Chain A
Amino acid sequence: MTQDPMSPSPHALARGIFGALALFAVWELAARLFDLPSYILPAVSEILARFWTARAVLGEAAAYTLGEALAGYLLGGAIGVGLALAVTLVPPLRKVIVPAATAVNSVPVVAFSPLILLWFGMGVSSKIVMVAVAVSFTMFVSALAGFDRVDERSVNLMRSFGASRAAILWKLRLPTALPLILSGMRLSTVRSLIVAIVTEMLGAYGGLGWVIYQAVIVIDFVQVWAAIFVASVASLGFFAVVSLLERRLVFWR
């Protein structure tokens, strides 16, 4: 066989960096060549420079948003996994919870935003709730698929050892579901940040979304892009951390 195009090459990282640099180069060139005003597309160099000059504001905002995203992410993860657990432990619940969760998930989260802003105020709690709503469904679906994947024969083996429901859950179901739970968590990282930012744009006291909103008002698009860059870096970092955690925890593949 010739080399498998599916497996990663040894140059994967270099190529990724090359791709990013190439994009930046084209972007910079386009911005300069066509002399684009910043309200259409600011040059990358300009954005990176702002990265530095506005580092205090951006850093604080990023910490604020990451805090919200992380809290909502954990809460949503707990809710999603908890619901999946409930459905697994009390099978009749499945018929109620699965369709309800599907219906709720079919509504775009932004549609809930006015209600959630109303119920939970403009502070961090509304962001946390929004992120939790967005994350919990993904986690519910992933965890449920994970719990369902448990081999009935393994359950029977545990029962033959005299294991209780709780012991089976703790020693068998949870570890079996872990790979799917973690891949759901990996997917949810990017989403949690986006939802936090978007909710901040609808009303907040701080955070990257708030910075973006303010910057749009004063037509400062360099600031908007700088905030987006920060968000992207934060997302990638969050993604990488969870991926690392995943590789650590699911060492058996």
Chain B
Amino acid sequence: ADLESVSLRLKWLPQAQFVGFYMAKAKGYYEDEGLDLAINPGGPNLLTENLVATGADTFGLSGGTDSVFAAIEKGLPITCIGISHQETPFVFVSKADGPVQEIADFKDASITTWFTGANYVLFGMLAANDIDRTDMNIQPQQVSVTPFVDGQVDVVTATRYNEYYTLMQRVGEENLKRFVPEDFGVSFPRDTLIVGNDFAAEHPELVQGFMRASVKGWLDAFADKEAAIDLIMKEAPTLERPHQEFMLDEVEKIMLAGAAAEQGLFTIDMDAVSSAHQILVDYDVLGGPIDLEAAFDSQFIDAIPSAERLPE
């Protein structure tokens, strides 16, 4: 049959975080849906929304709800058609025997976080706990967690599947204390699937097919993690296998958390979306509210029955 050439732009380089898409491609699920799909990695300073909006890529696994809001506000013609990480994928970490034992201790602590979205999660957590952040010591976080390990920083931001693994390796999990945003009333769903509006209008069936194939790929990856990790190690042989195994386990938890636990993978939980949206409006990151209904389109993912989007 005639396959339609399309591409999926990831938010980062190949790693277990994205293995479901590689699995679907390896098993031919995209071809079954009439798609000849190329998986393009991302990189720093490469914005998935941008590439999808200009038509350079068809689909994108973009930063998260926050970057989708920004794109919509700037008028980029894209729509979110599914959310991968149902809850905030990062946590704030302090030392178990350190000065920061509860959220109130953040007040006098030195904290680093990524100023690429994670900072608003932190602000939201502080606000929800009545902590005034105006004269707190919050600094941008660099690639490395070493300043935290060395004790120069009290609180560090970590993705649950990446930096947290490094921290466990270097400090030991028993010596770490986690502050999970959801425990403090804040949630930022991330790793959003997006598509260009024109493409979605012209080829709704292909979008539908893409979602179906992707879901199947992910379920296969969860079902046979050994094979999934093999696949990733083939894509990026210099990665460390134990880390990737840990990553897949964590990603599975995040992808099946919240509303997805009931409704299945890639569910768009509009409650979580609007709560994240509200935080960004409150902090004037967004100039004003955006039309969430138009920006988040559940029709494609909802067309797949929940039973088919959940592991056996």
B265-290 Cβ-contact flags toward A at 8 Å (1 or 0): 00000000000000000000100000
Stretch from B138-146, B245-253, B304-312 at the A interface: B138-146
Residue A203 at the chain B interface, CB threshold 8 Å: yes
Interface size class on chain A is 20 to 34
Given known A118-B144, A216-B45, A219-B50, contact A205–B74 (CB-CB < 8 A) = no
State whether A219 touches B140 (Cβ < 8 A).
Answer: no
State whether A121 touches B76 (Cβ < 8 A).
Answer: no
- A residues near B (Cβ < 8 Å) are 37-40, 114, 117-118, 121-122, 201-205, 213-214, 216-220
Residue B49 at the chain A interface, CB threshold 8 Å: yes
Interface size class on chain B is 20 to 34
State whether B70 touches A219 (Cβ < 8 A).
Answer: yes
Given known A39-B50, A217-B67, A219-B47, contact A114–B117 (CB-CB < 8 A) = no
Chain A nearest CB, measured from B54 CB (Å): 6
Chain B nearest CB, measured from A215 CB (Å): 11
State whether A219 touches B139 (Cβ < 8 A).
Answer: no
Name the residue of chain B whose CB is nearest to the CB of A113: B143
For chain A, what secondary structure do more than half of its interface residues adopt (helix, strand, loop), or is it mixed? Answer: loop
Name the residue of chain B whose CB is nearest to the CB of A114: B143
For chain B, what secondary structure do more than half of its interface residues adopt (helix, strand, loop), or is it mixed? Answer: loop
State whether B147 touches A219 (Cβ < 8 A).
Answer: no
Residue B195 at the chain A interface, CB threshold 8 Å: no
Name the residue of chain A whose CB is nearest to the CB of B53: A39
Name the residue of chain B whose CB is nearest to the CB of A213: B45
Residue B116 at the chain A interface, CB threshold 8 Å: yes
Contacting residue for A220 out of B49, B53, B74, B144, CB 8 A: B74
Chain A nearest CB, measured from B76 CB (Å): 7
Given known A39-B53, A217-B67, A219-B50, contact A205–B45 (CB-CB < 8 A) = no
Q: How many A-B residue pairs have CB under 8 A?
A: 57
State whether A219 touches B49 (Cβ < 8 A).
Answer: yes
Measured between beta carbons, the chain A residues less than 8 angstroms from B139 are: 122, 205
State whether B144 touches A117 (Cβ < 8 A).
Answer: yes
Name the residue of chain B whose CB is nearest to the CB of A204: B140
Chain B nearest CB, measured from A67 CB (Å): 18
State whether B140 touches A122 (Cβ < 8 A).
Answer: yes
CA A214 to CA B71, docked complex, whole Å: 14
State whether A117 touches B71 (Cβ < 8 A).
Answer: no
Residue B44 at the chain A interface, CB threshold 8 Å: yes
State whether A205 touches B144 (Cβ < 8 A).
Answer: no
State whether A205 touches B143 (Cβ < 8 A).
Answer: no
Measured between beta carbons, the chain B residues less than 8 angstroms from A38 are: 74
Chain B nearest CB, measured from A201 CB (Å): 7
CA A216 to CA B74, docked complex, whole Å: 12
Measured between beta carbons, the chain B residues less than 8 angstroms from A218 are: 70, 74, 285
